[in-house]
Homo-oligomer: A and B are copies of this chain.
Amino acid sequence: MRLDLDIAPALLFAATSNPVHLPLELLLVFGVAKLLGELMERLGQPGIVGEILAGVVLGPSVLGWVQPDQVLAALSELGVMFLLFVVGLEVKSSELLRVGGTAMLVATLGVVLPFGVGYAIMAAIHASWVEALFVGAAMVATSVGITAQVLAAKGLLQERASKVILAAAVIDDVLGLLVLAFVSSVAKGDVNVASLVTTFVMAAAFTVLIAKYGSHALGRVIPRVEQKLTSTEAQFNLALLLLFSLSVLAVWLGVAAIVGAFLAGMALSETVNRRVHDLAQGINELLVPFFLAGIGIHLNISVFGSAATLWLSVGVLIAAIVTKLIGCGVGAWRLGRADMLRVGVGMIPRGEVGMVVAQIGLGMGVITESVYAVVVFMTVATTLVAPPMLKFAYRKSPRGLPEEKFSLS
């Protein structure tokens, strides 16, 4: 069943692209995301699960009313950039640096274990070793957006475990870059160790420098520049410029744009006023549903087509969950059992990051369409199971109010 998008009077618009397309796409994605989010909340589940499911329902897998396109992809990417920016605004870099040692251990174990097990599973079913390397790489990268959204919505960003998760996710992204660069160069048969080291060192240096000195530098620069500007909302405009600049820099250095966005937010967290938070929050309210639904939209139910693919999907999914849970959990052993569980669960979602790795492998022709579908299934499914698990893991948290609004009818 397909929705007819061409109900506009045929008389007009014959020659231009259909002008109802954008508003209708906005209405469908935003409306269904909010509707299913509300439904999930009433069922005692995090609303975020409903918003991801909205993408599954609207996308090619079920109704086919909305197709992945450039515009949705851009709104989704902007959405996760602003999500991480706003999360960064809530976090002081000094607090993140304080948990740096633990976060490093969490990130490292959370990279090694999924990569190894992912490779082993593919090797066990006699896939080519390049394909096995790519599946391993796709299982490495945590998508911190999902966890950050759950924690921010429940007011749990100030918990110690939350800070370890955020710091570990940033380190994880840099390590993931290294793994992807290594795997890609192996697939091309051209491993250049010097180039790999340079890429890694530059990305790591960028991250550490901004985290360490960004806040102090901006605390001096922003107020001076701001008072020289005539425009209204000058502080917010400066914040957006920093956000875009660090996102571009991050991508140029090989890490994800969202790492740049998070670092920009964190560097500004001690300088900007409440107004900047509010204005950025407005952008989030609009765009984050597109990020969430945008993940669900990519699900391809053809993985359930053959028994072999189905079993592989289930195996990869379980491995993806268990390896992060154990790897990251063990990495956080110093924090005690409650926080070990929180950290382990918080690192599970793969979201858009795993999908990008799989797309690169597909584009290079080293992984097959069906393995690609398996990886996408794993990324969507880890993203769906993590929020309820997070809710469970944080249930005893003093600041957590898991039952806050469910008493309403």
A residues contacting B by CB (< 8 A) are 7-9, 11-16, 19-20, 22-24, 26-27, 30-31, 34, 37-38, 41-42, 47, 69-71, 74-75, 77-78, 81, 153, 177, 180-181, 184-185, 195, 199, 228-233, 236-237, 240-241, 244-245, 247-248, 251-252, 254, 256-257, 260, 278-283, 285-286, 356, 359-364, 405-406, 408-409
Contact = CB atoms under 8 A, between A and B. Distances in A.
User: Which of A9, A240, A247 has the most chain B CB atoms inside 10 A of its CB?
Assistant: A9
A334 B143 CA distance: 62
A8 B252 contact: yes
Report how many copies the assembly holds.
2
B22 A230 contact: no
Secondary structure dominating the interface of A? helix
Contact of A240 (B232, B260, B286): B286
Given A14-B364, A19-B257, A27-B244, 14 more contacts: A11-B184, A11-B185, A15-B363, A19-B256, A20-B252, A22-B77, A22-B78, A22-B257, A23-B81, A26-B244, A71-B71, A71-B74, A228-B409, A278-B282
Contacts of A30: 240-241, 244
A25 B310 CA distance: 40
A324 B281 CA distance: 40
A254 B12 contact: yes
A282 B12 contact: no
25 contacts: A7-B252, A8-B251, A9-B254, A11-B181, A11-B185, A11-B199, A12-B180, A15-B361, A16-B359, A16-B360, A23-B244, A23-B257, A26-B78, A27-B244, A27-B247, A34-B231, A69-B70, A70-B70, A71-B71, A71-B74, A236-B285, A279-B281, A279-B285, A281-B282, A282-B282
